[in-house]
Every structure is written in structure tokens, then in C-alpha cells.
Structure 1
């Protein structure tokens, strides 16, 4: 799987800077940037500030707010200088992404209040692609970034957007900058970083559609697994994520989570939902562990944490789990997590239904 990292930030910067450098002799202040209310100059300054802010978040790693600083250009800085600042702040973000451990997260408000290095890289790439487009449109320049970069951004921070006919027009549509046949215009939008659920010894980290596709096809999904992982159930659950994404039904908080062991950052299993809650507020949960991780209480710990977080939501009234009747260890997991045995699952004597109510 192609990871979203510092190389992608650098690739996006190179693509945008090459184009905009052709127009540094023009007046960017007197021209609006595409559909934005900002001028091309104001948009370029915003882009540089965003890249610096993301680098600062990864370097400082605050958990509750942005690091309180901003970017001010020297008086008299011309358009060539502005472009140099964009390249410099982008290089700082690229370096921060490369040197930040994978499991580290820092504050970002949308929508789960944190992001990891891949999330900040994806947001930085999105800022570069979209605002280069805005400036280029204002200056009358044609711009189309590498399709693979656009696909990376869509599958990592726009998981709620179903794939379109091509990645770049889909990204423009998803951010209110273009139209797609058969889809209503977008007037409000946010990107989505992956959700995380903390537990005592584990962190449950949401799986993006890109990572899910890699897992489903036999890869590692960008995670470092213990011996024997991921187990087959995790790969099957990843396939459900891919199908939901392609059908436009995927919601990050109702997908697959990988269980990351805090002591060494290695993945030990998967846990997640079969979909969003039904009309009665019921959601079904499933899980599995690599064989080498069993017998340590990881599944019980993860299920308790996920259930507690999920049952805080007003749209959830109950969680349910269906376990094979002869799988006594799995039945013990749901029982220890507080689920009640409800009897045969849908009349199937080979399976047992369990439920945990709010």
C-alpha cells in the first residue's frame, strides 16, 4: 500500500510550485482565487500558514488545541517570495511527517479531535492541491495534479465521499469547486481523519478505505503486525469497509478498527461494526485477534472501550454480537465485556446472540 507521507507532500508541492512559478510576475492581490472570496495572494499566504500549522502540530503534539502561533510575511514580500515561503513551510511539514512515529497523534478539530502523521500529510496535500487550483483558476492557468495524489487524499480524509469517474474532478466536487453528473452541488464540507478509541494497553485506530483495500487484498494496511496477523476475520471486515466505501455508505466511526499495542506499536487484531445502527439503534460488533495475541485479555479490553464509547451516542441503544456456539473463548470475551446472552441468533442454533444495552 502507498502510505501518505512526506514524499506525497513534496510531490504535491513540486506540482503546484512548477505551475505557479510561471505567474509570479503578475499581481496576485487584485485577482480573486477561483470560487473563493480571497485574492490569489491571500490564498497563497493561507496555504503557507496551514502547512506551517500542521508541521507545528506534529512537532509540538498538543492534544487540546492548535499551537498558538501564526505566519507573518516580511513587508514587501513579492509573489516569488510568497511561493518560496510555501515551499519552505511544505518542506517543514514533510520533515515533520517523516520523523513522527506512526502512533503519535496531535490535535485537529475535524471530526474526532486528533490526527496522526498520515492525516496531517493528507491535509497538507489537500491544501496544496486545492489552493493551487484556486490560485491557478484566478490567474487563468490550467492545473491538474497527479491522479494518484488525489486518490490518496480522497480515500484517507474524504472516506464519506463515494468514488467518482476520476479522482481530481471528484475531489473538486467534494470541496465545492466543481460539478459531477448525477451529484448535487456541495455547499458545505469537512474532511474526516480516522477515529481512535483509547484503552488501557491498546489503541483502537480506525482503518481508512485505502488501508482496508490493502488488508482485503492481503497486505498489512500500513500497520506493523505481530506474528500471524492480520487474521482472516480482519481481512473479511476490511472487505466490508471497501464495499461500503464504493457504495457511498461508509462512515468512519462505524467501520473497522485495528488494535494497536501501546508498548510496541504493533497490531494484534481487528474490531469493528457491520455497519451503522439500524432504525432501532442497534449496531452489531465483531472482532478477531492474531493467534499469538490470544489469552492476554486484549479482545475484552478493546470491546469494553469500544462499547463504552459507542453507547454514549444518543443514536445507539444497544450493541449486539453473534458468536459461534462452539467458540467458547469468544463467548467469554463478550460476557466479560458485559454482554448478556440472548439465545440462538435468528433461530440458528449453531450461533449465539449477545446484547449490551445503554
Structure 2
């Protein structure tokens, strides 16, 4: 599977080996990572990806991706699906960026690329959520076209209908 390319980013489908290095925070000799990558959120996402690999084999195209800068290939975050589409044709997404990469619009740019990829795969709805106090993540989802659909005691829920 090829990288999803945007103007500034390459959203790279993780391999099991890459995910194992992210979980171990072991960049290896041929890997370019931001100094504060991976954060715990990216390590959690890589663990989820590895669990999916163990259960079903490679879960792509509905697996985990690494967010890399196109110029230089520096890994700055992670994004991915929490599994294949459900009975309603909906997928849930999650993402995170290294602290040093925040505030440049990279998360929204990567999320837009993943949303368009989901659209090309026939997904009907993209869903995401975040805590009430995570205003930057709320802004990312809004910037990528998701709309707030509900709140509960813990989370703010967003969705984008694709078809």
C-alpha cells in the first residue's frame, strides 16, 4: 500500500516491524523521528495496530499510519482507523502528534487525507471523539470537516457523513 500524500505530509501505512519499533520507542538506524516522537498516544496506537495484526493479519487499509513530513521523511505523529467499517459503514479514527509538531496544521492535514482515503474505500461515516478539555483536537476534527454530533460526561463526539 502506498503513502497517502498531501502537500506537506506522507501518511505512511505502518508495517508490523515499524509498529514494534514505535511501541519500543526504538528508532533504529534508518528511521527519522522528531526528537519527542513517539509520545504515549502513538505508542498506544501502534499497540492497537499490532493487536489487529495478530488477530486478522495486516488490517490495512483500515490500520495504523505514521505521519511523516514529505521533506526529509521525519516522523511526527500517528493516525489510523480503530478497525474496518461497522454495519453502518462507519469507521472511527484516532491521531496524535509529537508536541514539537503541533500548531502547524499537520494533524488536520493528515486527517483530511485519511478521510479522503476512507471515502475512496466506500466508507459512509468517519467518527472521532476527544475529551472536553482537548480543544486542539476538537479544532483538528472541525478543520477536517467533522461536525460535533453529541457530548457525554467524558467525550465530545464528531462525525462526517461521506455519502
Question: TM-score category by the smaller chain?
Answer: over 0.9
1:98: which partner in 2? Answer: none
- Offset from partner CA, 1:311-357 (integer Å, 9 cap, x none): 1222x10000011110000000000111010112xxx3221100011
Larger Rg: 1
Q: Quote the offset at 1:280 in angstroms.
A: 0.9
8 Å CA contact 1:195, 1:252 repeated in 2:
no
* Larger RCO (CA under 8 A, 6+ residues apart): 2
Instruction: Map residues 52-201 of structure 1 onto 2, 5 A cutoff.
Output: 194-201=1-8
Say whether residues 1:357 and 2:161 are aligned partners.
Answer: yes
Unaligned runs of 5+ in 2: none
Structure-1 separation of matches of 2:72 and 2:57: 34
- Residues 265 and 230 (structure 1), Cα distance of their counterparts in 2 relative to 1, 3 Å cut: same
Aligned length: 161
1:305: which partner in 2? Answer: 113
Runs of 4+ in 1 over 6 A off after TM superposition: none
Structure-2 separation of matches of 1:357 and 1:309: 14
Say whether residues 1:324 and 2:131 are aligned partners.
Answer: yes
1:210: which partner in 2? Answer: 17
8 Å CA contact 2:145, 2:160 repeated in 1:
yes
1:338: which partner in 2? Answer: 145
Decide which structure has greater helix share: 1
Decide which structure has greater strand share: 2
Structure-1 separation of matches of 2:73 and 2:2: 17
Structure-1 separation of matches of 2:143 and 2:14: 26
TM-score, normalised to structure 2, is 0.93
Q: Quote the offset at 1:230 in angstroms.
A: 1.2
1:293: which partner in 2? Answer: 101
